[in-house]
Chains A and B, each alone.
Chain A
């Protein structure tokens, strides 16, 4: 008994983050129960995944940050290989090749890359100190772009864009000069037409319908319109738990995954939204605090990037559900029903906790 107590007592975790994450888990169960039409088994599978994700998170939290540093390139290389494998032998799902089937367990290499890309870029830039040289920035850019292109090929535009962002954030945090940033912006603007021509038809359709959802209300604009109706009809106080008519009558697409926020906003209204946003803001704030207080450049860059990427996920999902961003398949972090993305997310929090809890040791 005492041994167990001692063991539990020695587990490293960040208490504020932990409390917030448990709060998210509770909200996730509540909303999923409603979005699934009171299907307890959906909540059950989410709970099982969540337990697995917590185990992964706590396990990672025990690892010393210098271990991350050492294995960053290996981790990245493994992810790259798997990405190629998935393109070659990947199981075809929803017309896109995204995962490798490992005896009932689907592994999505792009999920690994969500962590591996910021890790490898932070590793590369931190080696020679900050601010980075142009040469190091160029190499980092290559490290980012190769997996991103492979993921676009799958095709999974949403994930690719977010991984691109996570890598760029590292470079930005490392102190990329403003002159280069300005130039990159101009180059990106110039490249827009080129990108447009390489998009798949359905991807273009999403952008078009985002710009004018009513242009084809029964077609591509349908998701966007229905989710805005759900959110808007929720009003200030919401329709109440289990009373989302949009989700329950089947108007809301993907109501358990990508569009779960629409269910939340319909049932809990602006009041609930304010609470939820505050919780996200708290987690992001805590992540930035950890990044700011981290003791080496690698930890700072990685913690900053993971936190801000988490924020981007949140932003892209909410933006998509409320119709200010095009419909890309990005789940709402910590709430949506989903397997591997949840584990990845919790692993990221594990890294944050590791960085936070190993500070004093390093200081000694």
Chain B
């Protein structure tokens, strides 16, 4: 027995024997557990796993729908799709990301921005999701990738339809743009139960029409049932349920007028809203400066975005929708209407204007823009010559409560209900508004409210909509950008329904006519403040100029002293409609820090009215794709 000593041999055997028996029991027990598990999987739940095995082999692959086009009223394309090769990477399937990116970089050009964007998304998204690395590959680049595909695991070449805005920044503030769906939107989509609709879709409307009519533009996702292996290699298509393309949207916008409006505001900051006062159709919706939406589609790089953010002209701000300006003298026609409707002031009641107005018992003078005064002024002349003293007095007579109620009724301080999200509502001040802020209303504020200064704020859209009331016989319209939606297959169109609120009955017509007559003399009268745009007009225009004082501007910080002076200059405003006898267009123009409405804003309105009313004068649009109807994709 060599070096194995003879100890208590019997005891050793006994201990070992009992321990081995315990182990044998353990083995049998575990064997029974395993057998039980096998029974559970292979017999009890066999059906379940059989179904899952089959589902594994036939996997449903979503086929994203074609997004609807956006076109202007004449079929000029504002947003379309074009097939583009996109290079996408599924991070999970890539063994060595640095090496793969280096390899791809040798085959196609990858910019610093491409890589930055890719890495940003990589951090934010789950690894099994396909992320775009490069978009818009050339045919040659696509071919190079295709040849090298066996060496590029996890890198995929997709021919996807890509959103494209052929006119660039034209109408950006109404079109908006699509961008890649972000985390927040994924959450929102999930909560609204639309998760399935977005399978296979990478983009969603972020702003403007693209955002407001997302559900119409999106279409319905299709499904392809493909036999695939685990690596997603498709073996063949078993069944296909075609996607339903999104609807094409025709807008009321005339792209040529839009372009003209933007052209006239180029180099300035401002907004133009033109609409058909009888239908609420928005003809022009311009906000300047603009910016190119195309880089936003697949995610703009940070430095370009920062440049837009830091631009002192704030191109990202939608001035037509969100610019809130003091209305200045453009409020006067509405104040005049308020005076007539109140019954406290008649059209023939006159005031002698000596250039200064004082409240009883207050030393502070409220001055007219014309130092010498306008002399004897009635309601008609108060609009024509834009007399401030008349309105100081009228405002005090009417009282802030009446003014608030009346202007609110005309749509000021209210949402217009336009088909865009996030419109600003402006402000019509009131005692309650002051009280809510823990302050008291002073009579002096009522005085300046009379000439559209003080806390009153309006948006260009509201101004255009409210001037339409004077043009259309007393209807507050709901402005509409969309003209019609079109089924891309059947070409069947459904037209937008126009909605309005009738504010004034037939018996109020003479009062509205009196205001219109005064506004006509603003343009065509000898003393009219906008007579320079009226003398050669082949149709008659009713208008009102305005100049809004800028005390503190809400446009952010400006560092340049020279610019500072510019930003403190007055805003120029002009509202108008034409032809007076049968108004077809109402318009509001605001040019920031441009001085007088008559010189800076009115000529823009005149040009646009010419284009609209005298079609032969409409300038053609360069570089535009015009289609009678979008091709069926």
Q: Which residues of A contact B (CB under 8 A)?
A: 66, 69, 126, 129-131, 169, 172-175, 218-219, 226, 228-236, 245-246, 249-252, 265, 269-270, 273-274, 277, 281, 284, 288, 291-292, 296-298, 300-301, 304, 308, 311, 315, 318-319, 322-324, 362
Closest to B19 in A: A173
Q: Which residues of B contact A218 (CB under 8 A)?
A: 92, 128
Could you give, for residues 193-230 of chain B, a 1 whenever the CB lies within 8 Å of some chain A CB and a 0 otherwise?
A: 00000000000000000000000000000000001111
* Measured CA separation A124–B442 after assembly (Å): 102
A246 close to B31 (CB less than 8 A): no
Could you give, for residues 221-247 of chain B, a 1 whenever the CB lies within 8 Å of some chain A CB and a 0 otherwise?
A: 000000111110100000000000000
B38 close to A270 (CB less than 8 A): yes
Question: Within the complex, what minimum Cβ distance (angstroms) separates A245 from chain B?
Answer: 6
Q: What are 10 A-B interface contacts by the 8 Å CB criterion?
A: A129-B8, A172-B23, A175-B15, A281-B27, A288-B23, A292-B17, A304-B23, A308-B23, A322-B34, A324-B37
* Measured CA separation A284–B29 after assembly (Å): 14
B5 close to A233 (CB less than 8 A): no
Question: Within the complex, what minimum Cβ distance (angstroms) separates A202 from chain B?
Answer: 13
Closest to B6 in A: A129
* Measured CA separation A169–B4 after assembly (Å): 21
Question: Within the complex, what minimum Cβ distance (angstroms) separates B240 from chain A?
Answer: 20
B57 close to A245 (CB less than 8 A): yes
* Measured CA separation A72–B49 after assembly (Å): 48
Could you give, for residues 44-60 of chain B, a 1 whenever the CB lies within 8 Å of some chain A CB and a 0 otherwise?
A: 01101110110011000
Choose one: B15, B34, B230; the contact of A130 (CB below 8 Å): B15
A270 close to B230 (CB less than 8 A): no
Q: Which residues of B contact A292 (CB under 8 A)?
A: 16-17, 20
Closest to B35 in A: A277
B230 close to A249 (CB less than 8 A): yes
Closest to A294 in B: B16
Choose one: B2, B12, B37; the contact of A66 (CB below 8 Å): B2
**Interfacial residues of chain B within 1-47, with CB under 8 A of chain A in the complex:** 1-5, 7-8, 11-12, 15-17, 19-20, 23-24, 27, 30-31, 33-35, 37-39, 41-43, 45-46
Q: Which residues of B contact A235 (CB under 8 A)?
A: 42-43, 46, 50
B127 sits at the interface (CB 8 A)? yes
Across the A-B interface, give the 5 residue pairs with the lowest CB-CB distance, nearest first: A232-B49, A129-B7, A233-B53, A250-B229, A175-B15
Q: Which residues of A contact B30 (CB under 8 A)?
A: 311, 315
Closest to B33 in A: A324
B42 close to A232 (CB less than 8 A): yes
Question: Within the complex, what minimum Cβ distance (angstroms) separates A283 from chain B?
Answer: 11
Choose one: B4, B7, B46; the contact of A298 (CB below 8 Å): B4
* Measured CA separation A340–B353 after assembly (Å): 109
Q: Which residues of B contact A270 (CB under 8 A)?
A: 38-39, 42-43
Given A172-B19, A173-B23, A322-B37, A249:B4 Cβ within 8 A: no
B42 close to A175 (CB less than 8 A): no
* Measured CA separation A265–B48 after assembly (Å): 16
A229 close to B34 (CB less than 8 A): no
B20 close to A129 (CB less than 8 A): no
Closest to B41 in A: A232
Q: Which of A169, A232, A252, A298 has the most CB of B within 10 A?
A: A232
B49 close to A273 (CB less than 8 A): no
B42 close to A265 (CB less than 8 A): yes
Question: Within the complex, what minimum Cβ distance (angstroms) separates A172 from chain B?
Answer: 6
Choose one: A66, A229, A273; the contact of B53 (CB below 8 Å): A229
* Secondary structure of the B contact surface, majority rule: helix
Choose one: A230, A233, A273; the contact of B46 (CB below 8 Å): A233
Q: Which residues of B contact A324 (CB under 8 A)?
A: 33, 37
Given A284-B27, A288-B23, A232:B46 Cβ within 8 A: yes
* Measured CA separation A263–B37 after assembly (Å): 16
Closest to B232 in A: A250
Q: Which of B7, B39, B52 has the most CB of A within 10 A?
A: B52
* Measured CA separation A232–B55 after assembly (Å): 14
Q: Assuming A288-B24, A315-B30, what are 9 further A-B pairs, CB within 8 angstroms?
A: A130-B11, A169-B23, A233-B53, A235-B43, A270-B38, A274-B35, A292-B17, A298-B4, A300-B16
Q: Which residues of B contact A281 (CB under 8 A)?
A: 27, 31
Given A218-B128, A304-B23, A319:B34 Cβ within 8 A: yes
B27 close to A311 (CB less than 8 A): yes
Closest to A250 in B: B229
Q: Which residues of B contact A362 (CB under 8 A)?
A: 1
Choose one: A131, A284, A322; the contact of B38 (CB below 8 Å): A322
* Measured CA separation A230–B42 after assembly (Å): 9
Q: Which of A69, A233, A252, A288 has the most CB of B within 10 A?
A: A233
Question: Within the complex, what minimum Cβ distance (angstroms) separates A218 from chain B?
Answer: 5
Given A233-B52, A233-B53, A318-B34, A130:B12 Cβ within 8 A: yes
B20 close to A288 (CB less than 8 A): yes
Q: Which residues of B contact A249 (CB under 8 A)?
A: 56-57, 227-230
* Measured CA separation A176–B50 after assembly (Å): 47
Question: Within the complex, what minimum Cβ distance (angstroms) separates B121 from chain A?
Answer: 18
B34 close to A277 (CB less than 8 A): yes
* Measured CA separation A308–B26 after assembly (Å): 10
Q: Which residues of A contact B127 (CB under 8 A)?
A: 219
B53 close to A246 (CB less than 8 A): yes
* Measured CA separation A29–B46 after assembly (Å): 27
Q: Which residues of B contact A251 (CB under 8 A)?
A: 56, 229-230
B45 close to A232 (CB less than 8 A): yes
Question: Within the complex, what minimum Cβ distance (angstroms) separates A298 from chain B?
Answer: 7
Q: Which of B2, B5, B42 has the most CB of A within 10 A?
A: B42
Q: Which residues of A contact B12 (CB under 8 A)?
A: 129-130, 297
B41 close to A296 (CB less than 8 A): no
Given A129-B8, A130-B11, A232-B48, A273:B16 Cβ within 8 A: no
* Measured CA separation A265–B31 after assembly (Å): 16
* Measured CA separation A70–B46 after assembly (Å): 53
Q: Which of B5, B53, B92 has the most CB of A within 10 A?
A: B53
Q: Which residues of B contact A315 (CB under 8 A)?
A: 30, 34
B1 close to A296 (CB less than 8 A): yes
Question: Within the complex, what minimum Cβ distance (angstroms) separates A217 from chain B?
Answer: 10
Q: Which residues of A contact B45 (CB under 8 A)?
A: 232
Could you give, for residues 586-623 of chain B, a 1 whenever the CB lies within 8 Å of some chain A CB and a 0 otherwise?
A: 00000000000000000000000000000000000000
Given A228-B49, A233-B53, A249-B230, A131:B15 Cβ within 8 A: yes
Q: Which residues of A contact B231 (CB under 8 A)?
A: 250
* Measured CA separation A304–B16 after assembly (Å): 9
Q: Which residues of B contact A174 (CB under 8 A)?
A: 15-16, 19
* Measured CA separation A243–B5 after assembly (Å): 58
* Measured CA separation A291–B39 after assembly (Å): 32
* Measured CA separation A223–B8 after assembly (Å): 51
Question: Within the complex, what minimum Cβ distance (angstroms) separates B99 from chain A?
Answer: 15
Closest to B4 in A: A296
Q: Which residues of A contact B233 (CB under 8 A)?
A: 250
Closest to B13 in A: A300
Closest to B45 in A: A232
* Measured CA separation A322–B231 after assembly (Å): 23
Given A250-B231, A270-B43, A297:B49 Cβ within 8 A: no
Closest to A305 in B: B23
* Measured CA separation A281–B12 after assembly (Å): 26
Choose one: B5, B8, B20, B27; the contact of A291 (CB below 8 Å): B20
Given A231-B49, A250-B231, A311-B27, A173:B4 Cβ within 8 A: no
Q: Which residues of A contact B35 (CB under 8 A)?
A: 274, 277
Question: Within the complex, what minimum Cβ distance (angstroms) separates B367 from chain A?
Answer: 73
* Measured CA separation A69–B2 after assembly (Å): 10
Closest to A324 in B: B37
Q: Which residues of B contact A229 (CB under 8 A)?
A: 49, 52-53, 56
* Measured CA separation A230–B4 after assembly (Å): 51
B16 close to A173 (CB less than 8 A): yes
Q: Which residues of A contact B23 (CB under 8 A)?
A: 169, 172-173, 288, 304, 308
Choose one: B4, B19, B24, B53; the contact of A245 (CB below 8 Å): B53
* Measured CA separation A281–B30 after assembly (Å): 11
